[in-house]
Structure 1
């Protein structure tokens, strides 16, 4: 059988510098999934973008060839005219980009952006394209496809934007789908459903997939072939069974050793005494009013309801749940970026016998002191780093605002922070666009640590990182927590990460906490169907243990479909009940 795509001896460079992609070759057969695996900055994304000829302007295709043998016969993609390439992009070859906020237009509604693909390549009218897009939105996990159609990207969470990006790439049913970290911003249940959707489309249409990822569990569930890259070169390639079953190269073995997994045996939890609290969220409810468009009435959305959480000093409270469950809203309320509805409050305890401070009722002086002690690592590093500021200015700006140190001392602190997150101090002169997605996330973490805070709110801090850097960052966060008595409110959809770092875990679904317990209880004795689905959806780097999609669908469905003991609708949820000491479950008596 003739390969659908042939990449031969590809070489890419910038200016007069040595090549950043060197002698990369691989074939993709029709209906096959090939995984490109490697650390951030290894050249995976550049290799894939060269297929669609959407490389950065300064990039040079120095040598090599890429041939695409689709329905129109074999074509040399490097020598096609730009007009011919436009007919291929988005139609015969589609790409899911890693950063949806950067790839989606902020000025157009999501529905119109996705429907544009069908109007350009399938000549569909507005009514026809809307019907197809709404079906696709439903398949990628939007609870309310009509609302998603009307929404702008900035009105959606990071995971929701990624779902729209996936729908845009798949709506035209391409012959080849290039998926660049397609599930990093998604919770594990949605990830499992999206991976199942890609597999389903492959069976229906014979679509081939190039999967760029650092998640070996995703590779084990999706790929037939694996290509491992490091520093722009291929380290190892072969069938998924051979590479995952017995990795031969030392670099591949390193990736496996760094991959986080839920331990098979429960580890004893650190003692949790709730008498020394640093932050207390009490009865926090937050509603938003969304524009409905036209003459329709605005829609009220409850992001979170009656949330009660306590962050213990020197400990880590993890909040786990799917995209749109209210996790990030709780974090923003905790930092004072959002005001809770009437009846809710957030108290911050500075320590040393000081009285608690109401986060939403502070004086300007108290606010400044609070902002120095409480920092946040945001989910989207590209949006949170100013594209007009060099990294040196970005890292020293918090110190400058709070009047800490001399200019030389601030720069020294910035260099120290870069070293902590595994980056070179020489990078201080660069702008954010010169870094990969994983490197930008490391920079965000470094900036949050420059003020030596006491409370760090981490919103998906490792979602964009490859496994080896993720392991490094988690070790760093653990070391800082223990050495500096730092406290974490840790938001994540990766249960393996949570199992490693958390002292207590709260599971959120549909804006409410459905289960809360220490990790050694929650992961090995889950009671709620949604918690069970989260655990079942966690991919493992073992091709003999695929994700159980039926179990995932059962727990990840609407709350009205759960077993009667746990069932509730948006307005009437049962209370959190203590089934055993320290183990709270939202269920009917």
Structure 2
């Protein structure tokens, strides 16, 4: 372990609200998965536990609430909780379960990583949040509701009463995460544990949630333990950092020292893998004639939703409006935007999985100069033939692969569906593709659960390559991965693209990833492309307030470059609140106009 400031650590051990010392956790007779871990955090300060999946961060934090898996053994160590007045310390490992129930959600609260899994789908949000007050405070029902509504307003809900009566599935990901924060904060705890609180969120929502946590911390003076693998989040939030790998502490100390001058090789590797928008644009060759493998022209997509009751009117949702862009052969078009912007709908239409509204043209050219095929006009047989040439890499490697199928069956299935090759030829193809993605043929007999997240994503890419496609649609292929694994997968995608002359339609909300891989970028908001152009123009001379918000919201692993929440708030707000030249209400959007060669912006001319 490298300790960048031993004196600070000793001081924290005396004055901290939460102190973990020499913690070891194991399962069965195996070696400990968390070994000799120590950290502590003061009131009003934030400690970040940093490391990849499997490093022991979450287990270490859950031990403070004693909510470990049933098979886990807390083999040694102490977890001491003090109050803000310096009262009698409590060792959380020695007290009874009854006393522990008084502490959970009261003095120590936790924000979990995935709010949809943490919230009950059967109970309204207001009832779930008020449960902490019911258990730990002597308030009547009316007082509980008033306090919850006040907290909902504090965490940024525009209509707290509607949220109080809503079920989790009726809220967006960002709203559910705000509800989780309200649940953790309504009892005003001494210590807040935030376990990857922004991993599943768009960058603009992430920036607003991080700002919210900092504001509430300053208001209530609580200590925060932040579990994350994102060093950009650490730079914006943390006072102190503990870097973990394989259950052990690699390095610890003040954030400015850990991020500014890391000593341990593992920390240096994490810093090197952290994605950033480059400080200067990359040079790209001029393109006189563009060879598009896929073109989407005047594409709209409208959904008609049933009313909540038979007598309620139907709702019309315009998911995509007037999209015009193309994917060049052998290059990458990235489509960027928040959840609900229409990115994935565009991807599904590009694969023929969704049919666009009448009047749209989605043109596919198998070879340069060949006659284009309009995907809107394909019958069943023609669509099946097209899908051999266009495949998709999905966002979540855990749900992409059938858990009941061995790897060889999962890889060979596409060839079986299309009637390609004999069984032995399919196995040979699977072995070849596994080598392409950096995996061994001895993995063919295993099931998906035997692989890490990065390996599963490699398997997903291998499955997409089995039919020898020429177009890959990648839907957030790295968003669920740790930064070091994300770097490996991006490198793999680049190598495969260059080796096979593949074309990519790359869906993402992470501009640092997009800056790395894209040849052209389209920024979408509420179904519209608001800005489009090559990265060297779009990232270094952004025009639209929403593009500026996406760039400003990108957390960087540099303490001297914090997120500018004012720019984020303006660009991520409603179109009616944008500056006058970009402002519009409803469907009355201004045209997408070329401001520089290849650079288009949606504004009033």
The two structures have a TM-score, normalised by structure 1, of 0.88
Structure 1 window deviating more from structure 2 (323-332 vs 120-129): it is: 120-129
Correspondence for 1:67: 80
Contact 2:454–2:489 under 8 Å retained in 1: no
Cα shift at 1:252: 1.0
Q: 43, 53, 57: which one pairs with 1:30? A: 43
The one-character-per-residue Cα deviations of 1:376-415 (angstroms, maximum 9, x if unpaired) are: 2333334434444455544443344334455566556556
Contact 2:174–2:205 under 8 Å retained in 1: no
Correspondence for 1:222: 237
Contact 2:21–2:79 under 8 Å retained in 1: yes
Cα shift at 1:34: 1.2
| Backbone CA RMSD of aligned residues | 3.4
Contact 1:537–1:547 under 8 Å retained in 2: yes
Q: 525, 532, 540: which one pairs with 2:541? A: 525
271 and 83 in structure 1: CA distance in 2 versus 1, 3 angstrom threshold: farther
99 and 414 in structure 1: CA distance in 2 versus 1, 3 angstrom threshold: farther
Contact 1:438–1:465 under 8 Å retained in 2: yes
Q: 579, 587, 593: which one pairs with 1:571? A: 587
Q: 202, 212, 216: which one pairs with 2:227? A: 212
Structure 2 residue 18 is the aligned partner of structure 1 residue 2: no
Structure 1 window deviating more from structure 2 (316-325 vs 417-426): it is: 417-426
Distance 1:305 1:168 in 2: 37
Q: For 1:35, what is the secondary structure of its paired residue?
A: strand
Structure 2 residue 49 is the aligned partner of structure 1 residue 11: no
Contact 1:536–1:547 under 8 Å retained in 2: yes
Q: For 2:232, what is the secondary structure of its paired residue?
A: helix
Distance 1:422 1:122 in 2: 55
Correspondence for 2:3: none
Correspondence for 1:78: 93
Larger radius of gyration: 2
Structure 1 window deviating more from structure 2 (207-216 vs 566-575): it is: 207-216
Distance 1:191 1:124 in 2: 33
Structure 1 window deviating more from structure 2 (295-304 vs 531-540): it is: 295-304
Q: 257, 260, 265: which one pairs with 1:250? A: 265
Contact 2:336–2:521 under 8 Å retained in 1: yes
Structure 1 window deviating more from structure 2 (25-34 vs 276-285): it is: 276-285
Contact 1:441–1:464 under 8 Å retained in 2: no
Structure 1 window deviating more from structure 2 (106-115 vs 170-179): it is: 106-115
111 and 532 in structure 1: CA distance in 2 versus 1, 3 angstrom threshold: same
Structure 1 window deviating more from structure 2 (8-17 vs 166-175): it is: 166-175
Correspondence for 1:366: 382
Q: For 1:536, what is the secondary structure of its paired residue?
A: helix
The one-character-per-residue Cα deviations of 1:14-50 (angstroms, maximum 9, x if unpaired) are: 3343332222221122222111112232222332333
Contact 1:272–1:503 under 8 Å retained in 2: no
Structure 2 residue 318 is the aligned partner of structure 1 residue 302: yes
Q: For 2:15, what is the secondary structure of its paired residue?
A: coil
244 and 513 in structure 1: CA distance in 2 versus 1, 3 angstrom threshold: same
Distance 1:162 1:91 in 2: 19
Distance 1:278 1:137 in 2: 48
Distance 1:170 1:418 in 2: 47
Structure 1 window deviating more from structure 2 (181-190 vs 418-427): it is: 418-427
Structure 1 window deviating more from structure 2 (124-133 vs 554-563): it is: 124-133
Q: 502, 514, 522: which one pairs with 1:486? A: 502
Correspondence for 2:564: 548
The one-character-per-residue Cα deviations of 1:131-171 (angstroms, maximum 9, x if unpaired) are: 76677667667777777667766676666655555554445
494 and 13 in structure 1: CA distance in 2 versus 1, 3 angstrom threshold: same
Q: 189, 202, 206: which one pairs with 1:191? A: 206
Cα shift at 1:585: 0.5
Contact 2:293–2:368 under 8 Å retained in 1: no
Q: For 1:11, what is the secondary structure of its paired residue?
A: strand
Structure 2 residue 460 is the aligned partner of structure 1 residue 477: no
Aligned length: 589
Cα shift at 1:329: 2.3
Correspondence for 1:200: 215
The one-character-per-residue Cα deviations of 1:156-205 (angstroms, maximum 9, x if unpaired) are: 66666555555544455433332222222222222111111010010111
Distance 1:397 1:125 in 2: 59
